[in-house]
């Protein structure tokens, strides 16, 4: 039986640049940062309090992969991050330079706020009721 999600893969242009956005802007931590030879680097990040699911920052190599950068969610939120205090996190992330589409709004089941990552992927933050 499948019991949990361990990893999502996000295609990026530059792993160090993406790692900087997720750690410095969103406050994530690096869970892995390992090189395997000269051609492949395994980099994962996660929210500080999340010990089970990571986002792999995978450098796009092929033309097909490069074409997907910033479009992996097809205009919808690629990731939705849970928060227990959306107004606080909204203000903190704004001071770090994250540009939100609007202030947190009431949505079915709670409050949400959307923003984009450094490549244009849509991301959401959600606080349940």
DSSP state string for the chain: ------EEEEEES-HHHHHHIIIIIT--EEEEEEEETTTEEEEEEE-TT-SS-EEEEEEP-SHHHHHHTT-TTTTS-SEEEE-S-HHHHHHHHHHTT--BSSS-EEETTEEEEEEE-TT--EEEEEEE-
Position 83 scores a pLDDT of 96
Position 3 scores a pLDDT of 83
What is the pLDDT averaged over residues 106-127?
97
How do residues 71-110 score in pLDDT, each as one tens digit?
999 989 999 999 999 999 999 999 999 999 999 999 999 9
Domains of the chain with CATH codes: 1-60 (3.10.180.10), 74-128 (3.10.180.10)
Position 87 scores a pLDDT of 98
How do residues 2-53 score in pLDDT, each as one tens digit?
888 899 999 999 999 999 999 999 999 999 999 998 888 999 999 998 878 9
5 or 67, which is more confident: 67
């Amino acid at each position: 039986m499948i019991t949990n999600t361990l990893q999502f893969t996000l295609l990026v242009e530059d792993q160090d640049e993406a790692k900087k956005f997720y750690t410095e802007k969103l406050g994530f931590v690096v869970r892995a940062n390992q090189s395997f030879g000269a051609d492949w680097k395994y980099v994962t990040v996660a929210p500080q309090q999340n010990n089970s699911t990571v986002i792999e920052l995978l450098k796009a190599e092929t033309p097909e992969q490069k074409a997907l950068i910033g479009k992996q969610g097809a205009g919808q939120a690629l990731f939705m991050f849970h928060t227990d205090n959306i107004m606080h996190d909204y203000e903190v992330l704004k001071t770090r330079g994250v540009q939100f589409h609007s202030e947190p709004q009431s949505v079915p089941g709670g409050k949400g706020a959307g923003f984009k990552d450094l490549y244009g992927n849509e991301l959401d933050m959600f606080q349940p009721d």
